[in-house]
Amino acid sequence: MKFEIIAVLSAYLAVANAHDGPHAFRGRHANIARQVTASASAASSATSSAPSAASSGATPASAASVSAPTVPAAVTTPDSVTISLPTGPSGIPPLISLTSGMPSGSTLPLSQTFAAGAEPSYSGAPPLPSAFMFVQGQWPTMDVVAPTNSSQVQQWMQELEGVDIPDLQPTQDGDCATDPAFALDGQNRGWWTCGGWTRDTDIVQCPDKLTWGVSFDDGPSPYTQTLLNFLDEKELKATFFVVGSRVIERPQVLVEEYMQGHEISVHTWSHHALTSLTNEQIVAELGWTREAIKTVLGVTPTTMRPPFGDIDDRVRAISLAMGLTPIIWTSTPSGIKFDTNDWRVAGGQFTGPESFQSFEEILGNATTLNNGFIVLEHDLFEITVDMAIGYTLNAAMTHEPPFTLEPIGVCNKIPTTDMYQETTTNKTYLAARQKALSNVNSTTSTGSSSGSGSGSGGVNKSGAMQSFAMVSLPVLSAVAAAGFALLI
């Protein structure tokens, strides 16, 4: 069933901004209609409303500045447009009402709990450890760059011993505009943010045509469970790039992701632009997230995704030295980055229809590639989960020609065992890892090679973490209100 909506723009904006709208639609049953057919003028207005930050990749600074939601389309669109919009499946508001400031729906409880000792589905996986207990003082403060002067970070620094870490000066904030000289040098720096530069070490696609390596960033959030239930119902698996600060906040959601057969990957402790950090800070951001995942699941990922895709050769070398292969999202040969802009809907920069149009263009471009692809999506906000459940996943599943939806490791034919350090049998990986770990505890210096950092001097291991202030667990809305520094 397809719902035709003839919308006068003013009404469209009124609906989009209505704060009492979405609940009226919750529970309405309708099959998804796939195609958004907006008039050319509506399409061009959507394009013209794309913020300039799109070209440089959002940074914490630029994203934070958009905290006052606007509907830029209002300035440039004609008085009336005719739009045929998809209507969401049961429980998901119509696309047109997915907008910043919409009332939030309910969150779902865990669908399953798993006892200590439960066996993951892939062969050779260690049993689940006992349930995670948050202990004050054992973890860095959530959502701020992890401190570098702990015994743990000093130990992890030793994994970099003997590795050639390029001596690139940190960027100011990971934004091309702030560092124009570095941006011009993007190719030499291997800086993805400015020019989309990647290296052979990076996973940036799926090899097989018409295959989508599905992933979600920034969770586990209060809305992740809704997504997990949907994926389970559709028998879909995905890769979750998790933030360490969220992992210790919702460990049981991470357990459910993992035990249901989704892949888990590192997405840093506090979600800052990694190119802007010192070597020690990068190690701390990756190390604490590795540690959180290992503590909750009993396994350590072998992959990572840089927040904002912000990676250069320095970040890359540090990640690889720590046993983490970078995974970014696909760019076409002409430089179109596969970002759904779902996060811009949560931020008030894009409307639901505009984000969905981005996705339709991604699918259109994807059919022209000889390889498969990876797309940026999020499970951080209700809106981004609604976009995925109601629209993007359905659009891909019902597309002609059909797409195959798989986690990124699976589509790259990486055995699940090789997605984790404890179970991998990849000899190349193991040899490199053994070399890195042989440095740990056997060296006395910290091995710092560039950046400022505070890594010198003896470390008091017993008391190291006690001085880290541990704030009470923040609710996610507080995180969201703090701005969009956490996005992408």
Ligand X SMILES: *[C@@H]1O[C@H](CO)[C@@H](O)[C@H](O)[C@H]1NC(C)=O
Q: Quick one: how many helices (H) and strands (E) in the chain?
A: 21, 10
328 CA to centre of own chain: 10
Task: Report how far residue 362's alpha carbon sits from residue 207's, in angstroms, rounded to the nearest whole number.
Answer: 17
Q: Using CB positions, name the residue nearest to ligand X.
A: 364
Task: Report how far residue 207's alpha carbon sits from residue 213's, in angstroms, rounded to the nearest whole number.
Answer: 10
Q: Of the residues 267, 339, 378, 379, which is catalytic?
A: 378
The least distance separating ligand X from the CB of residue 435, rounded to whole angstroms, comes to 12
Q: Of the residues 173, 179, 217, 312, which is catalytic?
A: 217
Q: How many residues are recorded in the chain?
A: 488
Pick between residue 121 and residue 460 the one whose CB is nearest to ligand X.
460
- Residues 182 and 171 sit within 8 Å (Cβ to Cβ): yes
The least distance separating ligand X from the CB of residue 149, rounded to whole angstroms, comes to 4
Task: Report how far residue 50's alpha carbon sits from residue 21's, in angstroms, rounded to the nearest whole number.
Answer: 25
Is 185 an annotated catalytic residue? Answer: no
The least distance separating ligand X from the CB of residue 372, rounded to whole angstroms, comes to 16
For residue 466, give the nearest of 135, 217, 232, 231 by alpha carbon. 135
Map tokens 């070597």 to a residue.
279
Pick between residue 20 and residue 462 the one whose CB is nearest to ligand X.
462
The least distance separating ligand X from the CB of residue 365, rounded to whole angstroms, comes to 4
List residues near ligand X by CB under 6 A: 147, 149-150, 325, 336, 361, 364-365, 368, 414, 418, 426, 428-429, 437, 440-441, 460, 462-464, 466-467
Pick between residue 106 and residue 466 the one whose CB is nearest to ligand X.
466
Is 217 an annotated catalytic residue? Answer: yes
Three-state SS string across 314-338, please? HHHHHHHHCCCEEECCCECCCCCEC
The least distance separating ligand X from the CB of residue 454, rounded to whole angstroms, comes to 7
Pick between residue 172 and residue 443 the one whose CB is nearest to ligand X.
443
Task: Report how far residue 186's alpha carbon sits from residue 323's, in angstroms, rounded to the nearest whole number.
Answer: 24
Pick between residue 111 and residue 460 the one whose CB is nearest to ligand X.
460
The strand ranges marked E within 48-206 are 83-84
- Across the strands, what pairs with 217? 241, 378
Pick between residue 159 and residue 379 the one whose CB is nearest to ligand X.
159
The least distance separating ligand X from the CB of residue 425, rounded to whole angstroms, comes to 9
User: How many C-alpha atoms does 391 have within 13 Å on its Cβ side?
Assistant: 30
Tokens read off for 261 = 């057969």
Task: Report how far residue 164's alpha carbon sits from residue 411's, in angstroms, rounded to the nearest whole number.
Answer: 31
- Strands 263-266 and 325-326 come out as unpaired
Task: Report how far residue 248's alpha carbon sits from residue 283's, in angstroms, rounded to the nearest whole number.
Answer: 18
Pick between residue 194 and residue 414 the one whose CB is nearest to ligand X.
414
* Burial group, residue 438, by CB count within 10 angstroms (0-12, 13-18, 19+): middle
The least distance separating ligand X from the CB of residue 423, rounded to whole angstroms, comes to 13
Residues with a catalytic annotation lie at: 217, 378
